[in-house]
Structure formats: structure tokens, C-alpha cells
Amino acid sequence: MGQATGSRILGSGSALPARVLTNADLAAQIDTSDEWIVERTGIRQRYIAGEGETTASLAIEAAKAALADAGLEAKDIGLIVVATATPDNTFPATATKVQHALGCNGGVAFDVAAVCSGFLYALTTADSLLTTGTAKRALVIGAETFSRILDWEDRTTCVLFGDGAGAVVLEAADAANPASAGGPGVLASRLHADGANHDLLYVDGGPSTTQTVGHLRMKGREVFRHAVVNLSSVLKEVIEDAGVSADDIDWVVPHQANARILDATAKKLGIAPEKIIVTVDKHANTSAASVPLAFDVARRDGRIKSGDLVMFEAMGGGFTWGASLVRI
């Protein structure tokens, strides 16, 4: 094998908690309705972690499914990156729990905190570490249990989120067949952050401030406006970096926050709505898990195939945002 030039995706997996919570279930608990939630967000149901289900347990299940899909064993993995804003513990990193459960101790394992953009941050970091030779193969996982940081009496936020995990296996790509020459792999990635908007989307607790876990707080309308502007701009950057046109993209796998954000962003870029993978109706917003979860759903149902050009994109608290263009 020659020197690595980036990395490629070998397989994917995902995991969802057993319990489904529908909009009708929520309407029985708080002052909301199925009509309001569907019209404003596209969400019809979400999965909620039960007793014994945690961010790590969902991550482990998704990782095992991704390894099986790639035809690999845990010993083949030298790097595990878990994107999460809802770790099992403040420390150690959830990634080390996943590593131990899989039985591939000794490699590199750490968490990335970029909230809903976490999978993009984790993918780009793992791609760089594989390119520089830190490991040959990586598990990149987005896993969350947002149900545990929601204020279940705040109808403006609690209807929007769900729990789950998604994972991909990445392998250092061969210089003889780089993505730039038509081979499989990451073609271009861009990440951004702007801490000025902290108060629009944050958790009002933490170990160093309140010594509590805290609850999610959001000014939804403002977040919506920033999301459309930031996502359109980062997508344009990645399309330009990769030297492709919007028409060349086979599939967009966006962060699943809100069907209206997906529609508005696609319209701005002139991407056909049927190229957008949508799972927000079933999963709601699973933060860092949403992109790999949606990717796995669309690979397993046969929509995303080998050779397809796939755009991943997300924006979340911070604000943080990013996009990656990958040939499968």
C-alpha cells in the first residue's frame, strides 16, 4: 500500500432505542399537537432511550453493525472517534468505553464535542489522522441520548429531539486510486465555528459552572435563520473545493433537524428534493447521530451505492457547522 491520500468509507451501521414516542404520545403529556409538530418540523415520532440504554450502548451496537457491514473485526480498528454532546460520564471519553466493549484496546480513542455537527468534525479529524498514518482503520461514531438533557415541560424544545447512534468504518485510501482521480474516498471537507451565538442554542449546566448536567435551551427561530445561511455557504465551499457542480452530487445526507431547513437549503443550492435523504420524520433530531444514522438507512435500503457522490452536512450549537463530499 502506498502513502495514504485521505480515507474511504468501508461500511456503516446504526442503532435506535427500543421505545418509540409519537407526537400523539407527547400531545397527551404537554400542550402540543401532531399537526403543529408535523407542519413546523416534519417530525412524526422519535426513539427514546430506556433504562440500561445509554450513549455508549447505542454507540457499541452501531459500531458492531458497521464492522459487520465492512467485513472487519474489532482488532482491525486503530482509532475510535465518538461525536457526542451526551456522554455516559463527564470523563472518561465514551470512545474508550466503546473501545473496551469491542475489545480493541491499545489504539487511539477520544470524543469530539461539536453537538449536531459532531459527526462532520469527527469524520474530518479521523480522515486527517488516517492520512498522516496514526491508524489504518477507524470507527467514526455519532451517538446521543438527548432525551436526558431535555426539559420535558418546555414544548418549544422537547418535541424536536430523539436518541440514537450511527457509525462508519473508515480506511486509509490508497495513493494509487485517490478520490481526486475517481476512486472512493473523502474529496473535500470544511468545518466552521462561531462562538458569538452561544446563547441561541446551549445547555444551561455543566461540571465547571453549575455542577449539574443542565437542560437544552434554544431560540428556534434564530437558529433556523443561521442554519440556512451557514449550511448554504459551507456547501458552496465544499462543492468548489472538490471541483464538482451541484448536479454531480447523487445524494445529500443532511443533519436531520427540521424538514423545512432541509428544503430551504436544497432550494438555495438548486439540489433536487429527491436527492435529499430524510429521516427526521422517524428519528427527529438525534444531534451528532443524525447524519450517520440517515446514511446507514439509505445505504441499507439500496439508495446510496458504491461510486455515488454523497454530501454530508450539519450545523449545531456553538455555532458549529461543516460539510464533507465523499465518493462511496
Q: Give the residue numbers marked as catalytic.
A: 116, 255, 285
Of 36 and 110, CB closest to ligand ACO:
36
Shortest spacing between CB 267 and ligand ACO, in angstroms = 16
Q: What is the largest CA-CA distance in the chain?
A: 60
Which of 19, 25, 38, 40 binds ligand ACO (CB under 6 A)? It is 40
Letter for the amino acid at 319? F
Residue 77 CA to residue 270 CA, distance in Å, equals 39
Burial of 108 (0-12, 13-18, 19+ CB in 10 A): middle
Shortest spacing between CB 24 and ligand ACO, in angstroms = 13
Q: What is the DSSP letter of 197?
A: G
Of 32 and 128, CB closest to ligand ACO:
32
Of 92 and 205, CB closest to ligand ACO:
205
Q: Which stretch binds ligand ACO (CB under 6 A): 32-40, 77-85, 90-98, 167-175?
A: 32-40
126: closest CA among 114, 109, 106?
A: 109
Which of 80, 123, 169, 227 binds ligand ACO (CB under 6 A)? It is 227
User: 106: helix, coil or strand?
Assistant: coil
Residue 298 CA to residue 253 CA, distance in Å, equals 9
How many residues belong to the site for ligand ACO (CB under 6 A)?
22
Q: Does 41 bind ligand ACO (CB under 6 A)?
A: yes
Q: Does 29 bind ligand ACO (CB under 6 A)?
A: no
Per-residue binding string, ligand ACO, 232-271, x by CB under 6 A, is: -----------------------x-xx-------------
Q: Does 45 bind ligand ACO (CB under 6 A)?
A: no
Q: What angle do CA 11, 193, 315 make, to 5 degrees?
A: 50
Q: Binders of ligand ACO among 279-308, rule CB under 6 A?
A: 285
- Main-chain phi, psi angles of 67, to 5 degrees: -65, -45
Q: Does 202 bind ligand ACO (CB under 6 A)?
A: no
Of 175 and 213, CB closest to ligand ACO:
213
Which of 51, 221, 270, 274 binds ligand ACO (CB under 6 A)? It is 221
Closest residue to ligand ACO: CB criterion: 220
Q: What is the DSSP letter of 51?
A: T
What angle in degrees, to the nearest 10, is found between the helix axes of 34-41 and 259-269? 20
- Which residues touch 13 (CB under 8 Å, ≥6 apart)? 61, 62, 63, 64, 65, 66, 67, 68, 69, 166, 167, 296
Shortest spacing between CB 315 and ligand ACO, in angstroms = 5
Q: Does 32 bind ligand ACO (CB under 6 A)?
A: yes
Burial of 203 (0-12, 13-18, 19+ CB in 10 A): buried
153: closest CA among 61, 236, 217, 81?
A: 217
Per-residue binding string, ligand ACO, 154-193, x by CB under 6 A, is: -xx--xx---------------------------------
Stated length of the chain: 328
Per-residue binding string, ligand ACO, 102-131, x by CB under 6 A, is: --------------x---------------
Kindly list the residues in this chain that would bind ligand ACO in the complex (CB under 6 A): 32, 36, 40-41, 116, 155-156, 159-160, 201, 218, 220-221, 223-224, 227, 255, 257-258, 285, 315-316
